[in-house]
Amino acid sequence: MNIQLNLQINPLSDIALYEQIAEQIKQQILSGALAEHTLLPSVRGLAQMLGISVITTRRAYTELEQQGYVLTIPAKGTFVSYRYRERLKELGMLKLDEMLSNVAHLAKALQIDEAELAAMLSNHCAYVQEHEYNPLKARQILTQFIRNR
């Protein structure tokens, strides 16, 4: 299934056009707007749609492919890759590690020992599991982390 992408590019921006395109496609993949195995517009088709160079759209797709978000199959097209889930988990682990480092430093400053900290974490995990796990909130935290990298 071929879809129309909702992309807004700003030729006057300090951010290169290919980066603007790649970032917006990445955000649509991470938000779930572009599902796994979705066929993206061809390099030429996207260039025509945006009124830009084929070289620019090819570079955006190459960037996304190197990051694991899309997969190009010769004579078939460029698809949202199943590998983006692996990349998402990798980025999520980086965010979690960063957050845990901050928690460990704060606990040390408050003189909270490891056992007490582990109990607090366990209680929070149980509460979220039972009452308030929100996949959208988790995705927003991860998306914000990716944007800030």
**Residue 9 domain flag:** no
Nearest to 57 by CA among 68, 72, 76: 72
pLDDT tens track, the chain, 149 positions: 557 688 999 999 999 999 999 999 998 887 778 888 899 999 999 999 999 999 999 999 999 998 888 998 888 999 998 776 777 778 788 888 988 999 999 999 999 999 999 999 998 888 887 877 777 677 667 666 666 65
Residues 59 and 115 in one domain: no
Assess whether 32 and 62 both reside in one domain.
yes
Q: Give residue 126's pLDDT.
A: 85
CA-based nearest residue to 81, from 9, 47, 30: 30
pTM higher than 0.85 for the full model?
no
Q: Flag whether 8 is in a domain.
A: no
Does one domain contain both 59 and 24?
yes
In a domain, 6, yes or no: no
Domain count, the chain: 2
- Looking at residue 7, what is its pLDDT? 93
Tell me which residue range forms the domain holding 47. Answer: 17-82
What's the confidence (pLDDT) of residue 32? Answer: 78
Distance CA 69, CA 59 (A): 14
- What is the predicted pLDDT for the residue at 139? 67
